Amino acid sequence: MHSVKDVLKKFNPLKDKYVSREFQAFGVNLAERLEDPRRKGLYIKFAKTVPRPLLEMALRFVIDANAKNKAALFMWKLKEMGAFPAKSIKSKSLPAGRQVVKSIKSEV
């Protein structure tokens, strides 16, 4: 864990001009350690929404594994640890005011 002093020492106002909060710095740090700078925004979102201990455990797992694709392994580990809520499957519903009408054929 980096202290505020360390973060401020590494702060480059030209490069990091949009990093103003601690979770943003942590997200950028995740992107650098996972060698995935294109998805900086995703890691900042994770740093804001996913509990920090889960992120640190997944990062430790990836660093220890010496993986080729660190970002993919990180995502897999987060999913395995249950960091993302399960999506509920909603049944299809019709727009408001519409009803399903069954046709009934009567035999005479």
Q: How do residues 39-85 score in pLDDT, each as one tens digit?
A: 999 999 999 999 999 999 999 999 999 889 999 999 999 999 988 87
User: Is pLDDT at 106 greater than 60 in this prediction?
Assistant: no
Asked if residue 86 is part of any domain, the answer here is no
Asked if residue 17 is part of any domain, the answer here is yes
Who's near 3: CB < 8 A, 6+ residues apart?
none
As a whole-number percent, the residues of the chain with pLDDT over 70 amount to 73
The domain total for the chain is 1
pLDDT at residue 94, as a whole number: 59
Asked if residue 24 is part of any domain, the answer here is yes
pLDDT at residue 46, as a whole number: 95
- Enter the DSSP assignment of 52: H
Considering only residues 104 and 54, tell me which one the structure prediction assigns the higher pLDDT: 54
pTM above 0.75, yes or no: no
SS3 68: coil
Asked if residue 31 is part of any domain, the answer here is yes
Asked if residue 37 is part of any domain, the answer here is yes
pLDDT at residue 108, as a whole number: 55
Asked if residue 67 is part of any domain, the answer here is yes
Residue 35 φ then ψ, to 5°? 55, 45
Q: Which domain holds residue 33?
A: 4-80
